[in-house]
Amino acid sequence: MLKHIFRATDLSSAQHRVICGAAVLGFFFCLRGAEYLSVSSKRHRYCFQVSDVLVKDANGNSTSQYASASAVSITLRGSKTDQNGRTTTRTIGKSGHPPVCSVFAALLLLRNAIAINMSGDEPIYSSSPGRVLSAESMSKVLRSAAKACDVNPSNISTHTQRVGGATALHAAGVDADTIRMHGRWSSDACQIYIRHRDAASLQLARRMSSFNSNSNSNFAQTDPNGGTRAHALA
């Protein structure tokens, strides 16, 4: 699904760049919709800002280059389970498989912020200053991608990113406590997503996150220099 979204992305469009970056980061960080999207034309005070996303090299220094980047850190200034606004940070390393890579998505969003002249305290998931990506728009994109991947779109919403991320972690062998901490669940609610998952759910997670470097795959789009479009951008 993530590969399909990237394939449909027009990178000259700020709206498309934001959608692509939001889809990937939402998945890798198991984000709640309210943490990065506007809902009913309103956004929470803890919605991600430009300054909340930091791409780092191996020495922990900020970098804007994919080649030298090793991880991305996000700062959450509140959430459904943190109404007092205690900040917390989560970090994920580079997958090395753009566009299904948290670092690639973060750089796409940060470069978009520069392109549309956003300040550090503005929502990073914005297609223009003051215009935050809506949950409705994100759901529409996810359902379209699901349909293209032969997944029932009626079961898809912005919560799919959070569920899919947790399921993918479980399928990869990550223990439940680590998943709960990463996704910032305050209870064992995440067990609903990772315990006794059926084949369809696990397949959905794999379809969301898997990367096929085969040049004959639908994703691979060759640029004039012979690399894929994502690698060329990175």
SS3 of residue 233 by DSSP: helix
- 181 CB-near residues (< 8 Å, 6+ apart): none
Classify residue 159: in a domain, yes or no: yes
Q: Per-residue pLDDT for the chain (234 aa), expressed as one digit of tens each?
A: 888 899 999 999 999 999 999 999 999 998 888 888 888 777 767 688 999 999 999 999 999 999 999 999 999 876 555 556 567 888 888 988 888 899 999 999 999 999 999 999 999 999 998 889 999 999 999 999 989 988 888 888 888 888 888 888 877 788 888 888 888 777 666 666 655 444 444 454 444 455 433 333 332 333 333 335 665 666
Render the burial of 88-105: b for 16+ CB within 10 Å, e for the rest.
eebebebbebbbbbbbbb
Token output for 22: 């939001």
Classify residue 167: in a domain, yes or no: yes
- 135 CB-near residues (< 8 Å, 6+ apart): 33, 37, 38, 39, 158
Confidence (pLDDT) at 151: 86
Classify residue 207: in a domain, yes or no: no
Domain that holds residue 110: 1-197
Q: How many domains does the chain have?
A: 1
Classify residue 88: in a domain, yes or no: yes
Classify residue 229: in a domain, yes or no: no
CB atoms near residue 173 (< 10 Å):
6
Confidence (pLDDT) at 143: 93
Classify residue 228: in a domain, yes or no: no
Render the burial of 3-42: b for 16+ CB within 10 Å, e for the rest.
bbbbbebeeeebbbbbbbbbbbbbbbbbbbbbbbbbeeee
Classify residue 67: in a domain, yes or no: yes
CATH of the domain at 148: 1.10.443.10
SS3 of residue 199 by DSSP: helix
Classify residue 231: in a domain, yes or no: no
